[in-house]
Structure 1
Amino acid sequence: MTDFWMPHLAFTLLAFLLLARFGRSRPLQAGKLFTCLLLSLVPLQGISLALQLRTYIGDLSISSLVLLAWATLSRFGLAPVSSQDRLASLALFAGLAVLLYPAALGLSYSDPYQLGYEPRPMLLVMGLLCLVLIIQRSWLGAVALVLATLAFVLRLNASENYWDYLIDPLLAFYSLGALLSAALGWLLARRRAALVSDIRTTA
C-alpha cells in the first residue's frame, strides 16, 4: 500500500510547490493541487509519473513529506514557520545527514545505519531532541520527528530502518544548502553593517 500512496503524495506535493507561486487564491491553489494529484497518476512508458520520479529520487522520508505538507498547507492559510523554527529544523536534519551519509559513502568506519534496525537508543535520542525543539517552540522539526517515529512504529513505509523515516538525500542536500545559504547571508549582512559603520565613523 505504501508503495502506492507515498510516491504519489511526494509527486503531488513537489509539483504543487513548484506551481504554487503562480496565483494565490485558495480555489486556484486547490485546483492546482488536484491537478498535480491527477498528473501523478498519468502513465508514461507503462508506469505513472509518480513512479517515474521515484526511480530518480527514491522514496522520500516521512520528515520530507511533513515539511512538504507544511509548506503546502501554508498556501492555504496555515501560519508559516518562523525563521528561527525553520533554521532549527534544518539544523536538525543537516546534523542527521552529516552523521549518516559520510558513513554510507564509505568515509567512516562506523555504520550508524545499522542502528536503525534496532533503534531503541536512537528513539531515546530523538525523543530528547524533540523535547528540546518543543521547549524552543520549533514546532516544524518536532512534528516531523514525532510523525516520522509514529510512522516507523506503525511501519507505514516499506523500509524497516528508522533512518529511512527520518532523512533522505534530498532533505539532506536541501538542509545543508539552506544552512550554508543562511550562513553566507548572515556574513554578508555583518560585512555590510561593518562597512556602513566605518563610513559613518570616517564621515
Structure 2
Amino acid sequence: MNHLMQIFALVELSITCAVVMILLLQKTSSQELSLTTKVMLILLLGNLFFWPLGLGMELPLVAYVRGVIGDLSIVTMLLLWTSLLSGRKPTPFAFKVSIACIAIVFYPLALGIGMIDPYAWGYGSVLFFIAVLLFAVVCGLANWSKGVWIIAIAILAWAAHWHESANLWDYLLDPFLAIWALIAVFGALYRRRRDKARSGYLFRPG
C-alpha cells in the first residue's frame, strides 16, 4: 500500500511539473495553446519526469524534485492544473488575501513562535474541520465554485489518506501556495499604489 502511495505521489508531481513548465511557456507567448496541445504536452513532459532516463541518475527526475520540495498540497496542485486547462481566468483576489493572511499567522506559530500550535489542529480537530467547511461555504457564496470543489477534494484526499501525511493542513496549504499568495497580494497593492501615484501626477495642477 505504501509503495502504491509513493507511485501516486510521483505521478501527481510529474503532472504538476509538466503543468508548471507549460504555464511558464505560456507566459512567454501571447498566443493561448489549444486544449489538445496542452494535454499532449502534459503527457509528454509528465512521462519525461516520471520514467528514469539514465544520464547518470538512478531515479526518475521527479523523485529528485520531490526530495527537494516534498509533496504539494492538494489545493496547490489543483489550482495549477485547473489554471492551465481552464485558460487564463484569474483566481479571486479575496482568496489570495485569505491564504496570505492565514500563512502570515500559521507559519510563525507552527514554527514555535508563541504558545499555540495550529498545525496540531490538522490531526482531527473538529473546530478546525468546521472552519475549513465554512471557508468552502464562503467560496460558494462568493460565486467561486471552483474553490468549493478544490477544498472538497482536499478534504476527501485527507480522509482517504491519499498522501503520507495524516494532517489536514498538508492537504490545504504549503509554502509554495503561501509564497504565491503573498507575492500576488503585495504585487497588487504595489500596482494600485503606483497607479494612484501616476493618476495624481497626471491630474496635478500646472
Partners in 1 of 2:26 and 2:7 — Cα distance?
Answer: 24
2:168 corresponding residue in structure 1:
162
TM-aligned CA distance change 1:59 to 1:108, over 3 Å? same
Q: CA deviation at 1:28?
A: 2.9
| Rounded Cα–Cα distance in structure 2 between residues aligned with 1:169 and 1:120 | 24
Whether 1:180 aligns to 2:186 is yes
2: CA distance, partners of 1:40 / 1:5: 14
Is the Cα contact below 8 Å between 2:35 and 2:85 reproduced in 1?
A: no
1:94 has 2:97 as partner: no
TM-score by length of 1: 0.85
Partner of 2:89: 81
Cα gap change, 1:189/1:49 in structure 2, threshold over 3 Å: closer, same or farther? same
Secondary structure of the equivalent of 2:92? helix
- Structure 1 residue aligned with 2:23: 17
TM-score by length of 2: 0.84
User: CA, structure 1 residues 168+161, in 2 after alignment: closer, same or farther (shift >3 Å)?
Assistant: same
Q: How does 1:122-141 map to 2 (within 5 A)?
A: 122-141=128-147
Q: Distance in 1 between matches of 2:183 and 2:26?
A: 22
What is the CA deviation profile of residues 42-97 of structure 1, one whole-angstrom value per residue up to 9, with x for unaligned ones?
3252111111111111110000011011112124xxxx435xx5212212222331
Q: 1:116 aligns with which of 101, 104, 122?
A: 122
Does residue 1:5 correspond to 2:13, yes or no? no
Structure 1 runs of 4+ with >4 Å offset: none
Within the alignment, does 1:50 sit opposite 2:62 as a pair?
yes
Contact 1:12 1:36 (C-alpha < 8 Å) held by counterparts? yes
Identity of aligned residues (%): 26
Cα 1:99–1:3 shift into 2, 3 Å: farther
Does the Cα contact within 8 Å between 2:96 and 2:184 map onto a contact in 1? Answer: yes
Counterpart CA distance in 1 for 2:83 and 2:200 is 35
Q: Could you report, residue by residue, the CA deviation over 1:115-136 in whole angstroms, capped at 9, with x for unpaired residues?
A: 1112311111111111112111
Superposed CA RMSD? 2.0
Structure 2 CA distance for partners of 1:105 and 1:14, relative to 1, 3 Å: same
From the superposition, tell whether residues 160 and 63 of structure 1 become closer, same or farther in structure 2 (CA, over 3 Å): same
2:41 corresponds to 1:32: yes
> Which of 169, 181, 196 is residue 202 of structure 2 equivalent to?
196
Matched, 1:105 2:111: yes
For residue 64 of structure 1, the aligned residue among 72, 76, 81 is: 76
The question of whether the paired residues in 1 share the 8 Å contact of 2:158 and 2:171 is answered with: yes
Amino acid at match of 1:81: K
Q: AA paired with 1:67?
A: L
Contact between 2:15 and 2:42, CA under 8 Å: does it hold in 1? no
